[in-house]
Amino acid sequence: MKMHRKTLVAALATTVLGVAAGPTMASDTNGDSPLGDGPIRLVIPFGPGGGSDMTARVLTATAPEFCGPRIDVVSMSGAAGLEAVNHVMNAESDGHTLLVTDYGPIVTSGFVDDVEWSHDDWDPVMLFTEWLPTVYTHADHEIDSIEDWVDKLEAEPNSVTFAHAAPLGIVHLPLILFEMETGLENRHIPTSGGGETRSMVMGEHVDLGMTLPASIAAEVENGTLKALGTFADERADVLPDVPTFKEAGYDVSLPAWLMIFAKNDVPQETKGFLQDCFMEALATPTAESMSDRTNAGIDPRGMEDSAELYHNTVEMVGSILREIGEID
């Protein structure tokens, strides 16, 4: 893999993280709704039961009171998530069919896959949360820290097996950035998803894996797994004892957002109404309780902040993909 200047790695992370952290407050949703009578469908490009699915379901329980229609969550994981993305793109532009995704199926795929849409064809409605990709291993593994990992690779290059889902996605690009920063290389082991990655790590078939904190918090707490570090500026709330890579001296930070998207030809009035009613729903005690119970870490932001973060991510991911030779 081609090496990259440390300064660019730091700049790319700063570009993404430069968006204001505070949520945009929702306005009242009083008045006539621009929505029709049918349900709102939140389409997810992943299988059921994962973090995206559980987070979106907070709205099914809370948002109808504010939005009006029933809200359904629909999982479409085919074609590495493009089934869901294309389904939403081909739906009516009425605000009733929305995409809930991280940056992999919409940003990365927009660069590397043969798709009939562009990044500018999508508008964020709101952001649910930012996830912090986390490196972890089996509790009995000899690697106990980021420093141990680096030392092993320096002594025995390419000796560490690293399992990850979604090549070039949210649990792979941070590893690539880390390798670009350090000049180290791991043996990458692609998996079908976070569940398979976790099984391989717990079965001691690979050395390390990467996931999101909520997916391993229980196992870390009970001593089955140990987390080494997070690719973020601050520690994860559910893994408060796990350092960031920046704390260990590596200027690599690449959090992964979860957003709701509409096609850009959905009327602005409709997108604004959806933002407001979703934000009001997520401010309720029920939503906060569900977020805490599932370790979802919901911290919503409105359209303006979300759009800035989205476009920064498009720029950042494009730069990484060009640097590693995936795109011209």
Query: What integer best gives the mean pLDDT of the chain?
Result: 89
Q: In the structure encoding, which two tokens stand for residue 68, read together? A: 């009006």
What is the mean pLDDT of the segment spanning 226-247? 95
Residue ranges per structural domain of the chain:
21-131+256-323, 134-230
Kindly calculate the radius of gyration of the chain based on its CA atoms and give it in whole angstroms: 20
Domain 21-131+256-323: give its CATH code.
3.40.190.150
- Does 21-131+256-323 match 134-230 in CATH topology? yes
Measured between alpha carbons, how far is 297 from 112 in angstroms, rounded to an integer? 30
On the question of pLDDT at 67 being above 90, the answer is yes
As to burial, measured by CB atoms within 10 angstroms (0-12 exposed, 13-18 middle, 19+ buried), residue 192 is exposed
Closest among 20, 23, 16 to 278, alpha carbons compared: 23
Q: Please indicate whether residue 128 or residue 293 has the higher confidence score (pLDDT).
A: 128
Q: Please indicate whether residue 292 or residue 14 has the higher confidence score (pLDDT).
A: 292
Q: 300 in helix, strand or coil?
A: coil
Q: 98 in helix, strand or coil?
A: strand
As to burial, measured by CB atoms within 10 angstroms (0-12 exposed, 13-18 middle, 19+ buried), residue 15 is middle
On the question of pLDDT at 20 being above 50, the answer is no
The DSSP letter of residue 301 is B
What is the mean pLDDT of the segment spanning 195-208? 94
What is the mean pLDDT of the segment spanning 173-191? 94
Q: 238 in helix, strand or coil?
A: coil
Protein fold of 134-230: D-Maltodextrin-Binding Protein; domain 2 (3.40.190)
Confidence of residue 31 (pLDDT cuts 50, 70, 90): low
137-166 confidence digits (pLDDT tens): 999 999 999 999 999 999 999 999 999 987
260-280 confidence digits (pLDDT tens): 999 999 999 999 999 999 999
Q: What is the pTM of this model?
A: 0.83
What is the mean pLDDT of the segment spanning 192-202? 88
* Phi/psi of residue 153, nearest 5 degrees: -70, -35
What is the mean pLDDT of the segment spanning 103-118? 96
Yes or no: say if 172 and 166 are a contact pair by the CB < 8 Å rule: yes
The DSSP letter of residue 207 is S
